[in-house]
Structure 1
Amino acid sequence: MDAEIEQVYLARGIKGVRPRFAYPLVRLAHTGPLTIRELAESLGRSHSAISQTVAAMRREGLVTSEPGPDARTRRVDLTERGRSLVPFIEAEWRATHATVAELDAELPHPLTTVVEELRRALERRSMRQRVLEHLVEPPR
């Protein structure tokens, strides 16, 4: 699904923007500069995941990051390019939510319910744990 959403961006002439950038870009547009930790906490994501996302967004010219109040933090802010894309990204976000609701109505089990059940199952036992339990390595 992410690849197809990215195609929507490309069809509108927006290059270098991935769907995983949408939520952080919108959050920064509404809050102003945040540290990576503050951004991660506000999005319910890990510091590591947001740090990687911010690095990718910086490479695409969507955000800047500079040292925060102490040497261990970085403050992230939107560039002019990042800010200019937020209205479209918010519109895409609304369209994506409408699409998910449409899919929920078409499926025998709502996608949102399945995703939530999957998240809870993986909290009980991670994907890594599950793979390791089934892994039978070939003889060397």
Structure 2
Amino acid sequence: MDDPTEQSQWRALHELLARMDGEIGRIYSDRQIQGLKPTYVRELLQLHLRGPMTITELAEAIGRTHSALSQKVAGMRSAGLVRTVPGADARSKRVTLTAKSKKLVELLAAEWRATEAAITELEAELPYPMTQVVRDVEAALERKSFYQRVTEHLEGEVE
């Protein structure tokens, strides 16, 4: 069998996003902030703005699954950025900011705004803005989901 991972239409996009996230991560390293990842910022800002939330509420607020948020909250808890306390019932947990993350929220909000400004600047240099690419892909996926597209290509490939 040939290695199917040798061909990848998305590798360059994944690597670009990882490189951009890595450069945002450098901002945190420059400020000697331990354990903070760029992928945590949206959740931390939501918790700051809305107050403690259950994992389900936080997942709904940012449009992610409960499972994905549960894993992310575990990482943020390990980094000392959030803590969890029992919720209204035995199955739920409320997520709250720690003193460490409360000290960071102004920087995180400023970094978010600076990142958006940098993206706007970058898009001005491009013949076709990235945000337009995303809108176009979303429109195409409304017509036919990615799941449908992949399963159609799988038919006949695997029994």
Pick the TM interval, shorter chain.
0.7 to 0.9
Match in the other structure for 2:106? 87
- Note the 1:78-117 alignment, pairs <5 A: 78-117=97-136
TM-score by length of structure 2 reads 0.76
Distance 2:149 2:81 in 1: 36
Higher relative CO (Cα under 8 Å, sequence separation at least 6) belongs to 1
Query: Alpha carbon RMSD of aligned pairs, Å?
Result: 2.2
Question: Which runs of 5 or more structure 2 residues have no equivalent in the other structure?
Answer: 1-19
Distance 2:112 2:31 in 1: 15
Distance 1:35 1:96 in 2: 28
Indicate the SS of the match to 2:94.
strand
| 1:70 equivalent in alignment to 2:89 | yes
What fraction of aligned residue pairs are identical, expressed as a percent?
A: 48
Match in the other structure for 1:30? 49
Give 4+ residue runs of structure 1 displaced > 6 Å after superposition.
none
TM-score by length of structure 1 reads 0.86
Further displaced range: 79-88 or 6-15: 6-15
Distance 2:126 2:153 in 1: 31
- 1:55–1:129 CA distance, 2 compared to 1 (3 A): farther
Further displaced range: 125-134 or 86-95: 125-134
Indicate the SS of the match to 1:38.
helix
Q: Find 2:146's aligned residue among 126, 133, 136.
A: 126
Residue 46 of structure 1 and its aligned partner are, at CA, apart by 1.7
